[in-house]
A and B are shown apart, each in its own frame.
Chain A
């Protein structure tokens, strides 16, 4: 989980301690962009082997939603 937070924080350009499972990233991350979104999807496939489509990604609201995709599937 720590590793996931580190990777996500790097993409959001924040410190890992600034994000939690409940962070609604599209609203709470300053300057969240679609390119950051693309980076998250690529990170999930690259690091966790989970292929997430753009449509599925758009349904994820919180960082926890993303994390659960990585550990469940």
Chain B
């Protein structure tokens, strides 16, 4: 197992948001599942989800988060030495989202700005890469992570509709004199790339008119080739077997355990899956931070959303808080990191409205 070490990095703050439309899952699922809607919610644990209004983008959400983050941490745009955007649902295929962030946030032109295209495993990747840039440049790095999955979810698909949601986030990573060591590890099984896939629209299968037509997949519902397909069982098995064993190995290799860490922050795939995963890793449910029940599964942004929602209340004020975070999904891919969260850092969670779009940055 390859472990990636990083020292002298600090998280100044994490701001996350959910978009405009709140969905009550029970009434939403009545159309798809009839009387079984309640059972689906009881089993996935996802009671409400948030999705974006048509036209609201992942950059809208993340840039709004970044504006609040810069303000809340008293950081001026000139201090930012890089911007990294994790998303698989960018505003456009070209150019990349980070270029929008550079312009809208008024960041220097002489900084690295790029996207990382990963789904649910993206946040730890982003954190690791941002840490390397911060460490080697001595400058603060802005990590944006958000997706508008709803644009690619068929409203008739029984596997994706009950869980999938949208969200955005911004994390500010800065170089510091801290001796805390962060560790990361990564896992990819490309043989299972068809388990979570948007079949049409890439160069492998350019758009055709018929891709816009709904196909009937019987008990799984209907979807178009431009929608996300999820083989729920394969993803479940990947997490329950591969990811759980790989995470146990990671903890073992770095000499950590549920006792030595303050919390487990898993990707909020669904509450059933993460409960099982937490149990395997010996984390009590109380020390497993959650947000999926209230806001849904928004791909890689679920980790920063969960931190922003829980940190102020759950971080131990008297000690250094070390957490295990792990994302897993499309690829199939997984990533994990053990990082330190500072009680005094800036954490904020909010619901995005149109008024948040293109707000000028106010010094806090």
Contact = CB atoms under 8 A, between A and B. Distances in A.
Interface string B265-278: 00000101100100
A54 interface: yes
Interface in A20-65: 31, 33-36, 38-39, 41-42, 45-46, 54
Nearest to B45: A35
Contacts, number: 35
B237 A41 contact: yes
B137 interface: no
Given A38-B240, A42-B240, A54 B233 contact: yes
> For this complex, into which size category does the number of interface residues on chain B fall?
10 to 19
Contacts of B233: 38, 41, 54
B42 interface: yes
B190 interface: no
A41 B233 CA distance: 9
B39 interface: yes
Given A45-B241, A46-B241, A38 B42 contact: no
A31 to B, nearest CB: 6
B237 A35 contact: no
B42 A35 contact: no
B358 to A, nearest CB: 41
* Nearest 3 CB-CB pairings of A with B: A33-B43, A38-B236, A42-B240
15 contacts: A31-B39, A31-B43, A33-B39, A33-B43, A34-B43, A35-B43, A35-B236, A38-B232, A38-B236, A38-B237, A38-B240, A39-B276, A42-B240, A42-B241, A45-B237
Given A33-B42, A35-B272, A54-B233, 12 more contacts: A31-B39, A31-B43, A34-B43, A35-B44, A35-B273, A38-B237, A38-B240, A39-B240, A39-B276, A41-B237, A45-B241, A46-B240
Interface of B: 39-40, 42-44, 232-233, 236-237, 240-241, 270, 272-273, 276
Interface of A: 31, 33-36, 38-39, 41-42, 45-46, 54
